[in-house]
Structure 1
């Protein structure tokens, strides 16, 4: 008797490889962002896409406030076209990062979503700045 875990069967390795490789093109995590920042290897623009009051209450180090409703060609004009943007919002219960990523992609900008958002950041034991 098989479990709910093994039904349906796992994908073939080649299919799984393509799927998980693709996911990493769209997502990053709190640890990788923190590691890049703390080791002076930040090669991306970190955007807090929550509202301004949430940003003021506490945000990730090196993050810029750009609420997803304000993302536009004009608000991004200062950044080179090939700038990688990493977006985050409150956490897994929030889709603001998805909305921001969609807007950035529509504008032809490279983008990744940081999984977990502020909730994930705090769960990892990392501090916020004000």
Structure 2
């Protein structure tokens, strides 16, 4: 008797390797972002793509608030074309990161999604700040 887990055949190892390596090209996680920030290795722009009110209630220190609906050539004009943007939103229940990533990709901008969003950040024990100085 098979379980729900094994009922569908597992992918061959080479396919699994290709899949998981590809994910790393599109996603990063809270730990990696936190490590980069706290070790002065931040080589990306961290975009909080939620609305202004949510951003003001709490965001990752150093993040720029740019709601996904406001991502366009004009709002990105100050950033070189090879700038890597890491986008995050409220958490796994929010698809604003995908909407932001689509907009950035359509503008030929490098982009990765920070999986977990604010929920993941808090779950990992990291803190948020509540100032508005980085709001756009």
User: When the two structures are superposed, what TM-score results if normalisation uses the length of structure 2?
Assistant: 0.94
5+ long unaligned stretches in structure 1: none
- Correspondence for 2:80: 80
5+ long unaligned stretches in structure 2: 131-136
Task: Return the alpha-carbon distance in structure 1 between the equivalents of residues 90 and 2 of structure 2.
Answer: 38
Task: Return the alpha-carbon distance in structure 2 between the equivalents of residues 4 and 58 of structure 1.
Answer: 39
Query: How many angstroms does 1:3 deviate by?
Result: 1.2
- Secondary structure class of the residue paired with 1:32: helix
Task: Return the alpha-carbon distance in structure 1 between the equivalents of residues 45 and 80 of structure 2.
Answer: 11
- Secondary structure class of the residue paired with 1:114: strand
Q: What is the correspondence of 1:92-111 to structure 2 with a 5 Å cutoff?
A: 92-111=92-111
For the pair 1:22 / 2:34, whether they are aligned, the reply is no
- Correspondence for 1:67: 67
Name the count of aligned residue pairs: 130
Task: Return the alpha-carbon distance in structure 1 between the equivalents of residues 16 and 93 of structure 2.
Answer: 26
C-alpha root-mean-square deviation of aligned residues, in Å? 0.6
Query: How many angstroms does 1:110 deviate by?
Result: 0.4
- Secondary structure class of the residue paired with 2:25: helix
User: When the two structures are superposed, what TM-score results if normalisation uses the length of structure 1?
Assistant: 0.98
Task: Return the alpha-carbon distance in structure 1 between the equivalents of residues 4 and 58 of structure 2.
Answer: 41
Query: How many angstroms does 1:9 deviate by?
Result: 1.3
Structure 1 residue ranges, 4+ long, deviating more than 6 angstroms after superposition: none
